[in-house]
């Protein structure tokens, strides 16, 4: 996947220009790719002389707490004033790893309020909304972190600016968004980039342990509970699974943000399963996540039935009815989708 020279030239005007006040912001419920790619991009901009505030709407999961510079993230839920000030004052705003301002909750309206700032999207989700001045959108790139790597390389003509800290941040994004190198878009160039990150001194077994082997026993028991509750329907030879978790169940297992990350992937380890869903009750609505086998488009499913979207094999959405009704709607949707 080539990065267009038009995108690089436009980006260079901003990056190599006069020092500016910049905001780098990623999505609500930030995952490894959101945190890794925005920290690395923010650091790169600082090296180019800019004043950068790196923002996320709410807390990141605890398995990312060890990441270098993660303490520099301004969390809107905790530091609303600081974030508001930075966003309203910014000359440039980089939106990282999401495709519509709605995914920012309270931070979205602040960005809209700042009509003066140049707004740039750096992302790999399908169908970005056209509210940005510069759209750097590459859905066939496996993670935003890898996209950031490619942008830095294209802007500078080399990966020299990437030090060990940035390499760790980028690797976390690449590793988590590819499911530890098991999903789609695993190109030779991606592995060449990873080789460069290894040359920068990253410790892959250490990163693996910190991200994947750092859970609480409550989280593991919640996973066991969720898997036991899994149900499956079959339509026309297509099997679709679902799991629900109510607020009461989450409380019972001392739920912490990030604990349910990855649960939705497990049913796909069943041979022949086409679609997996998890419905998690929150105070305001039910958060839905979908994962699908390579040939099934989960982003269409999420858009059509759950007011969401995402990638072909990993998507999400929302439901504003009860858990029971949401499951009925899911079964109906599966019947129609595979019918
Ligand atoms: P996850 O299941 O990890 O929360 O989300 C998987 C992917 O689905 C995300 O990368 C994101 O692209 C997409 N996604 C999740 N929730 C929503 C949503 O409410 N709206 C849209 N448009 N996409 C979502
Ligand atoms: Mn991503």
Of the listed ligands, the closest to the CA of 175 is: 2
Task: Report, as an integer, the average pLDDT of 166-184.
Answer: 96
Q: Of all atoms in ligand 1, which is nearest to the CA of residue 261?
A: 3
Q: CA 130 → CA 41, 133, 138, distances in Å?
A: 22, 8, 14
Q: State the pTM of this model.
A: 0.93
* Ligand 1 near 315 CB (within 6 A): yes
Average pLDDT over residues 18-31: 97
pLDDT for residue 257 = 87
| Span 284-310, pLDDT tens digits | 999 999 999 999 999 999 999 999 998
Residue 1: the pLDDT is: 80
Question: Please, what is the Cα angle at 239 between 238 and 242, to 5 degrees?
Answer: 140
**pLDDT tens-place string over residues 189-230:** 999 999 999 999 999 999 999 999 999 999 999 999 999 999
Beta strands in 27-117 (DSSP E): 51-56, 74-75, 92-96
Q: Which residue, among 298, 234, 237, 226, has the nearest Cα to 266 in the 3D structure?
A: 226
pLDDT above 90 covers a percentage of the chain that reads 97
Query: What spacing in Å lies between the alpha carbon of 236 and ligand 2's midpoint?
Result: 32
Residue 99 has pLDDT above 90, yes or no: yes
Q: Say if ligand 1 is within 6 A of residue 313 CB.
A: no
Kindly state the helix (H) or strand (E) to which residue 290 belongs, with its residue range. strand 286-292
Q: Provide CB contacts within 8 A for 289, sequence distance 6+.
A: 264, 277, 278, 280, 314, 315, 316
Q: What is the mean pLDDT of the chain?
A: 97
Interval between CA 156 and ligand 1 midpoint (Å): 32
For residues 30-55, average pLDDT? 98
């Amino acid at each position: 996947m080539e990065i267009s020279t038009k995108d690089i030239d436009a980006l260079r005007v901003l990056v190599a220009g006069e020092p500016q006040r910049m905001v780098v912001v990623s999505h609500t419920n930030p995952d490894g790719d959101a945190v890794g790619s925005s920290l690395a991009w923010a650091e790169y901009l600082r090296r180019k002389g800019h004043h950068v505030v790196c923002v996320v709407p709410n807390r990141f999961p605890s398995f990312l707490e060890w990441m270098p510079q993660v303490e520099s993230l301004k969390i809107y839920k905790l530091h609303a004033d600081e974030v508001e000030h930075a966003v309203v004052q910014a000359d440039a705003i980089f939106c990282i790893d999401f495709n519509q301002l709605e995914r920012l909750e309270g931070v979205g309206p602040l960005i809209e309020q700042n009509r003066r700032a140049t707004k740039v999207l750096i992302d790999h989700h399908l169908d970005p909304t056209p509210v940005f001045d510069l759209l750097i959108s590459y859905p066939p790139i496996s993670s935003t972190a890898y996209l950031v790597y490619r942008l830095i390389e294209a802007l500078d003509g080399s990966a020299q600016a990437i030090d060990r800290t940035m390499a760790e941040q980028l690797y976390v994004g690449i590793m988590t968004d590819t499911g530890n190198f098991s999903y789609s878009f695993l190109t030779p160039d991606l592995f060449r980039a990873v080789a460069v990150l290894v040359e920068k001194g990253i410790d892959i077994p250490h990163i693996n342990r910190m991200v994947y082997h750092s859970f609480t026993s409550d989280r593991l028991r919640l996973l066991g509970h969720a898997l036991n509750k899994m149900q499956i329907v079959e339509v026309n030879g297509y099997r679709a699974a679902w799991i629900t978790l109510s607020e009461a169940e989450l409380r019972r297992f001392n739920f912490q943000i990030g604990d349910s990350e990855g649960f939705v992937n497990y049913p796909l380890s069943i041979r022949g399963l086409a679609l997996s869903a998890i419905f998690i009750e929150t105070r305001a609505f039910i958060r839905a996540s979908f994962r699908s086998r390579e040939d099934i488009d989960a982003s269409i499913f999420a858009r059509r039935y759950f007011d969401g979207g995402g990638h072909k094999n990993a998507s999400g959405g929302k439901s504003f009815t009860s858990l029971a009704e949401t499951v009925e709607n899911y079964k109906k949707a599966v019947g129609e989708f595979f019918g």
